[in-house]
Amino acid sequence: MKIFTGFILLATILGSFAALQAKPYKGAELRTNQPFTYGRFEVRLKSAAGSGLLSSFFTYYDGTGLPANWNEIDIEIMGRYNNEAQFNTITPGQVNHPYRDTLQYNPHQSFHVYAIEWTPDYVAWFVDGFETYRQTGSHIPTLFRPQKNMMNIWQPESVEWAGPFNPAILPVYAYYDWVKNYSYTPGVGDNFTLQWSDDFDNWNTSRWSKGNHTWVGNNSDLIPENAVFFNGYLVLCLTAANAIGYNGSPVIDLDNQPPYLVWARSYENKLLVFFSEEVETASAQTASNYIVPGLAVGLATLQPDNRSVELAVPNIDLAVAYNLIASGIKDRAPSPNAMPLQITIVKTPLPSPAKLNVGGNAWNGYLKDQVWDYSREYGSTGGAAILNPGLPIGGTDEDEVYQSELRNITFYQARLDRGVYNLTLMFAETQHNAAGQRVFDVAAEGQQVLDNLDIFAASGMNAALEKQINNLSVNDGMLNLYFRAETGETVLSGLRIERVPTGLAPGGSQFVPGDFQLDIFPNPFNPATTIRYRLPRSGRVDVEIYNITGQMIEKPVSGFQAAGLHAIRFEANGLPGGIYICRVSLDGAPQAARKLVLIR
């Protein structure tokens, strides 16, 4: 790590290491023996506190031709700040692209999980399992050299960057609980596949080496004695030269910080709220812990991930960015930490149906294209926009959509409410005049839906081609499309997304085998309806009916049921017309909730 133009430059190790010098302090480093090209690199870390020092987790190319071939991706946590992490990529010529991320906690007081995702199209950084920053652009493709995964602690010379250093605070320690390594496998699962995990129960010398070097701008020598494996942790020590190693004190690994709001999003008659960690059921499902000014919050239902809560909010206007006020939600620590009052702005959803002009501008109800990042509701990853204004397109009256396209697109993502959707993918071959020059596959939600698509062979040149993907289940709140080239480049001009109405049509089912599913038909109803649900496994089942104030008024099922499809008839005798909520739990964990509309 070096200082560059007054800011951070994690230029940790030069191609030929400088010989160790008699520096006043001793730091430490651990690095993989093997380099990696693309992947996800994850760590659980408690950083060291103190002005004038830093703890890190990063990837680095330690080959030849530096600085011209420089490749590096960094997470640096400066001891001088109690609410910040610094993210950076360093590209050929030692050009750095830094970002300072404000954290909602003190990183020196407890362990948190940090991750880097590195792909040919983007680099993204994650904190506690959710993305907080992403880089795309022309510099990302230059990060293609194999990099080793590293972590270290050291004392920079730069007071401007690291702050003044007082050696009286020594020794200080950074604690690493585990590291996980994933390969980049686009189109498979979440696009990353776990290769190995190291819990640091011991020093795996076939995987890791300890640093033994220094560099200009570093007031410490990195020495093997200060990288210590202790009681299932890697401890990186920053010490005086005459007091090296770890003092053997027990590692304090306590959850002493409360959860916080990450985001809230509105959908039809409900809000979905996402927290920074798993939350305790009772406080998460206390509706009075949530306030949306101007609206009534009904039933609160903790979702199976234990980090998301669904709030029943009837009559919500999906075009309004409401304020959500929340407090009192507790985490699952042995001594639970309660969240103080927090406010977040509710993000509004995509329109329904949604029409997206991929590669182009807004037109006739189609939304303009945009590059995906964590803060957006939709967008593309990879590819270059190609515009063909005025080009006649056959077989359509929506020429403007087909006159723009993204060539070499890798992913398209859209945030959607959980449900079943019909997709229309829109293509036109505007480049090639023969079959076989562009052939590619498309996967949706991890399933291949188009195989060896050749647009020219299907529709010729400059002619619209639509491909329908029907009854696609989106169960995690995110539509994921992956495009994989067989010959030439992938391409996409437009995308339409339409939700399949809830409830089961006669003679049909929207259940996905192996998943929990809940459907109610008819809905609205009077005086009775059928509640159908599929259990992925056997267990104790509770089916509960709540009114809009959150009061349980009936429990038609409470007991053991076998895996598979079940149906019960709910009769609303004696109940007034209005909105009700049906919630189904399996072994005490809520699985899903649906709105019931009783018409009188």
The pLDDT tens digits of the residues spanning 302-337 come to 998 999 999 999 889 999 999 999 999 999 999 999
pLDDT value of residue 567:
84
Q: Tell me, yes or no, if 131 is annotated catalytic.
A: no
Give the position of tokens 């189904």.
584
Residues in the chain: 600
**C-alpha–C-alpha distance, residues 531 and 340, integer Å:** 38
Q: Where residue 171 falls among pLDDT bands split at 50, 70, 90?
A: very high
**C-alpha–C-alpha distance, residues 530 and 512, integer Å:** 19
Q: Where in the chain is the domain with CATH 2.60.40.1220?
A: 261-345
Rounded mean pLDDT of 81-85?
A: 97
Strand partners, 55: 77, 153
pLDDT value of residue 141:
97
pLDDT value of residue 590:
81
Rounded mean pLDDT of 417-445?
A: 96
Please name the residues in contact with 509: beta carbons below 8 A apart, sequence gap of 6 or more. none
Work out the angle at residue 75's Cα, subtended by the Cα atoms of residues 74 and 76, and round it to the nearest 5 degrees. 110
Q: Which of 29, 42, 72, 544 is catalytic?
A: 72
Give tens-digit pLDDT for 123-142: 999 999 999 999 999 999 99
pLDDT value of residue 508:
32
β pairing state of 354-357 and 367-368: parallel
The CATH number assigned to the domain with range 2-6+23-240 reads 2.60.120.200
Rounded mean pLDDT of 2-10?
A: 37
Average the pLDDT over each of 99-108, 439-448, 544-553 and give the range with the smallest value.
544-553
pLDDT value of residue 21:
53
Q: Where residue 115 falls among pLDDT bands split at 50, 70, 90?
A: very high
Instruction: Give the CA distances from residue 583 to residues 412, 520, 580, 596, in Å, rounded to whole numbers and listed in that order.
Output: 32, 11, 10, 10
β pairing state of 220-222 and 208-210: unpaired
pLDDT value of residue 12:
41
Q: Where residue 530 falls among pLDDT bands split at 50, 70, 90?
A: confident
Exposure letters 361-387 (e unless 16+ CB within 10 A, then b): eebeebbebebbbeeebbbbbbbebbe
Q: Where residue 289 falls among pLDDT bands split at 50, 70, 90?
A: very high
**C-alpha–C-alpha distance, residues 236 and 224, integer Å:** 10
Q: Do 556 and 542 touch, CB atoms closer than 8 A?
A: no
Rounded mean pLDDT of 199-224?
A: 97
- Overall pTM surpassing 0.85 (yes/no): no
Q: Where in the chain is the domain with CATH 2.60.40.1930?
A: 517-598
Q: Where residue 546 falls among pLDDT bands split at 50, 70, 90?
A: confident
Q: In terms of CATH, what superfamily is 517-598? A: Macroglobulin (MG2) domain (2.60.40.1930)
Instruction: Give the CA distances from residue 283 to residues 286, 310, 324, 543, in Å, rounded to whole numbers and listed in that order.
Output: 5, 13, 16, 20
Q: Indicate whether 232 pLDDT > 80.
A: yes
pLDDT value of residue 506:
31
Instruction: Give the residue, 2 or 394, on which the prediction is more confident.
Output: 394
Q: Which of 76, 280, 398, 429 is catalytic?
A: 76
Backbone angles phi, psi at 167, to 5 degrees: -65, -10
Residue percentage of the chain with pLDDT more than 90: 78
Instruction: Find, among 167, 284, 148, 122, the residue nearest to 208 by Cα.
Output: 148
pLDDT value of residue 512:
38
Rounded mean pLDDT of 441-470?
A: 96
Q: Do 395 and 475 touch, CB atoms closer than 8 A?
A: no
Q: Tell me, yes or no, if 310 is annotated catalytic.
A: no
Give the position of tokens 């609980």.
177
Q: Where residue 11 falls among pLDDT bands split at 50, 70, 90?
A: very low
Q: Indicate whether 19 pLDDT > 70.
A: no
Q: Where in the chain is the domain with CATH 2.60.120.430?
A: 354-499
Q: Classify 354-499 by CATH class.
A: mainly beta
Q: Indicate whether 517 pLDDT > 60.
A: yes
**C-alpha–C-alpha distance, residues 178 and 596, integer Å:** 46
Q: Classify 261-345 by CATH class.
A: mainly beta
Work out the angle at residue 385's Cα, subtended by the Cα atoms of residues 380 and 386, and round it to the nearest 5 degrees. 145
pLDDT value of residue 481:
97
**What is the average pLDDT value for the chain, to the nearest integer?**
92
Residue type present at position 494: G
Q: Indicate whether 163 pLDDT > 90.
A: yes
**C-alpha–C-alpha distance, residues 177 and 196, integer Å:** 14
Average the pLDDT over each of 33-37, 313-317, 355-359, 435-439 and give the range with the smallest value.
313-317
pLDDT value of residue 515:
66
For the chain, count helices (H), then strands (E). 4, 46
pLDDT value of residue 433:
97
